[in-house]
A = this chain, B = another copy of it.
Amino acid sequence: MQDVENRTPPPSSPSGAATAPLSFRDGNQDIDPAFVDAVSEAIRAADAPRLQHLVEDFHESDLGDLLEALEPEDRPRLIELLGPAFDFAALTEVDDAVREEILEELETSTVAEGVRELDHDDAVYILEDLDEEDKAEILEQLPPVERVALQRALEYPEGSAGRRMQNELIAVPPFWTVGQTIDFMRETENLPDTFYEIFVIDPGGHLLGAVPLDKLLRSKRPVTIQSIMDDDPDRVRATDPQEDAARLFQRYNLVSAAVTDEAGRLVGVLMVDDIVDVLDEEADADIKQLGGVNSEEELSDTVWDIVKSRSTWLFVNLCTALLSASVINAFSGSLQKMVALAVLMPIVASMGGNAGTQTMTVAVRALATRELGRANAWRIIRREMVVGLLNGAAFALLLASVAVLWFGTANLGPVIGLAIVVTLVSAAFGGIVIPLALSRLGVDPAVSSGPLVTTITDVVGFFSFLGIATLWFGL
């Protein structure tokens, strides 16, 4: 089971475990179950020294993955056994459900102690999902300066840049020299853990500019900050949605960006690693929603949570399926006279469903990445309709031949062919227009486009095929 020849050891692999050369990740970067077992054993034996040895130098991210790999009841025990050796930042790396469960089990004093050691943004991340009572209790146990800063961040709307920003930053006046700035950094104890630029502010705290560290390093000591700063740096409003900030980072290849309040005062800094998480969450939500899964669903959710959230979507699907069934029912006389129609009708609906999903997927994604907007909407609508018409024609020919050969009824050919063309063109139309319309109405197209598009393709598919057949054959 265990991969001893770890070809690319992660920085966090425990370098010299005494008993066995266990490592957390195998050569494939997958978690090694043997390592997880060793940790579980140590937890059950309450063997704190062994535990500390096992997770020594673990990166917060690996520690988070380890937590997720453990049985739920072992997770809070690991944290308690590790004591101050446990880095609470690991809790920002686990699924929401796991974090909530762990935090519920821990004493608020343990949480307060752990949160105190964290960067501002990580602390906000952990606190924001707690219920008001626990949040207040933990905040109370923090030193006033930290408490006020966290309270202020928590006042920004959920999902805003203000919630994701870090308030540890370096800001200097414009008249300082490069030398003064470097000396200041050398002498100050409490600098941010990581930073890629320093900011320039006026006495009122308004953002005047930014200087990337490499530029600072390349400049000579007597040069003033003002003369090397970028005086129109990319900035994000604290109240802006984090997705907008993420698109800005992506568009302009940023690693950090100033966050300002309404008055243009510097209040924090957004870092690219948080933005990577935002982009990932966004893509994740789109993928899940397009697949009919709640965007909040996580791998660690309980069976009950999943049953509840998935059944909502299945219920919507049931309603649209009943609608299609009632369309079929309207033609029950025709079906009785010609059973081949019952055999072929799901093909028409299924082709329509697929074509509609194709167009919708492209539209939803292009809307999410802001590639589809009013500048090109008409062009894309026209294009999708033409694609629907051409693919409709091609599959009409193909399916008509299959139907005629299969059932030996020549007239089935034009009937199913015509129905396919009508259905695929409607699918293309619905697939592009529905997401566009939802997006204009301010509704997330990833969530609701699916059921609407399938309803259209099913209803049109069954109705056109059975309707055309009824007319053609005079059923």
Interface assignment of A116: CB less than 8 Å from any CB of chain B = no
Contacting A335 at CB < 8 Å: which of B299, B342, B374? Answer: B342
Min C-beta distance of A210 to chain B, whole Å: 11
B287/A290 in contact, CB under 8 A? yes
User: CB-CB < 8 A to A233: which residues of B?
Assistant: 11
Interface assignment of A212: CB less than 8 Å from any CB of chain B = yes
Interface assignment of A81: CB less than 8 Å from any CB of chain B = no
Min C-beta distance of A330 to chain B, whole Å: 9
Known: A30-B375, A213-B213, A292-B354. A332 touches B339 (CB 8 A): yes
Taken together as a complex, chains A and B put the C-alpha atoms of A344 and B328 apart, in Å, by 9
User: CB-CB < 8 A to A297: which residues of B?
Assistant: 362
User: CB-CB < 8 A to A383: which residues of B?
Assistant: 303, 306
User: Which has the most chain B C-beta neighbours within 10 Å: A8, A61, A324, A342?
Assistant: A342
* 21 residue pairs bridging A and B, Cβ less than 8 Å apart: A30-B375, A33-B374, A186-B217, A186-B218, A194-B212, A213-B213, A287-B290, A287-B361, A290-B290, A292-B358, A293-B362, A303-B386, A307-B390, A314-B355, A317-B351, A318-B395, A325-B343, A325-B347, A332-B343, A342-B342, A346-B458
Interface assignment of A207: CB less than 8 Å from any CB of chain B = no
A-B residue pairs, 3 tightest by C-beta: A291-B361, A283-B283, A253-B273
Dominant SS among interface residues on chain A: helix
B362/A311 in contact, CB under 8 A? no
Known: A216-B217, A287-B361, A303-B386. A251 touches B61 (CB 8 A): yes
A314/B191 in contact, CB under 8 A? no
User: CB-CB < 8 A to A275: which residues of B?
Assistant: 276
Q: Count copies of this chain in the complex.
A: 2
Taken together as a complex, chains A and B put the C-alpha atoms of A302 and B50 apart, in Å, by 62
Taken together as a complex, chains A and B put the C-alpha atoms of A342 and B299 apart, in Å, by 38
B322/A347 in contact, CB under 8 A? yes
Interface assignment of A387: CB less than 8 Å from any CB of chain B = yes
Q: Give residues of chain A (212-228) contacting chain B, Cβ–Cβ below 8 Å.
A: 212-214, 216-220
Interface assignment of A137: CB less than 8 Å from any CB of chain B = no
B292/A61 in contact, CB under 8 A? no
Interface size band for A:
35 or more
Q: Give residues of chain A (343-359) contacting chain B, Cβ–Cβ below 8 Å.
A: 343-347, 349-351, 354-355, 357-358
Binds B, one of A99-107, A124-132, A152-160, A363-371: A363-371
Binds B, one of A41-49, A142-150, A242-250, A467-475: A242-250
Which residue of chain B has the shortest Cβ distance to A329 in the bound complex? B343
Taken together as a complex, chains A and B put the C-alpha atoms of A341 and B310 apart, in Å, by 26
Which residue of chain B has the shortest Cβ distance to A237 in the bound complex? B8
User: CB-CB < 8 A to A411: which residues of B?
Assistant: none
User: CB-CB < 8 A to A252: which residues of B?
Assistant: 11, 59, 61
Contacting A354 at CB < 8 Å: which of B185, B313, B358? Answer: B313
Contacting A376 at CB < 8 Å: which of B299, B325, B402, B458? Answer: B299
Interface assignment of A195: CB less than 8 Å from any CB of chain B = yes
User: Which has the most chain B C-beta neighbours within 10 Å: A217, A252, A279?
Assistant: A217
Which residue of chain B has the shortest Cβ distance to A336 in the bound complex? B339
Known: A213-B196, A314-B391. A299 touches B362 (CB 8 A): yes
B362/A30 in contact, CB under 8 A? no
Interface assignment of A255: CB less than 8 Å from any CB of chain B = yes
A29/B332 in contact, CB under 8 A? no
Interface assignment of A69: CB less than 8 Å from any CB of chain B = yes
Min C-beta distance of A170 to chain B, whole Å: 9
Taken together as a complex, chains A and B put the C-alpha atoms of A273 and B217 apart, in Å, by 21
User: CB-CB < 8 A to A404: which residues of B?
Assistant: none
B276/A250 in contact, CB under 8 A? yes
User: CB-CB < 8 A to A349: which residues of B?
Assistant: 346
Interface assignment of A118: CB less than 8 Å from any CB of chain B = no
A375/B335 in contact, CB under 8 A? no
User: CB-CB < 8 A to A315: which residues of B?
Assistant: 395
Taken together as a complex, chains A and B put the C-alpha atoms of A233 and B213 apart, in Å, by 20
User: CB-CB < 8 A to A61: which residues of B?
Assistant: 251-253
Taken together as a complex, chains A and B put the C-alpha atoms of A461 and B372 apart, in Å, by 38
Interface assignment of A373: CB less than 8 Å from any CB of chain B = yes
Interface assignment of A418: CB less than 8 Å from any CB of chain B = no
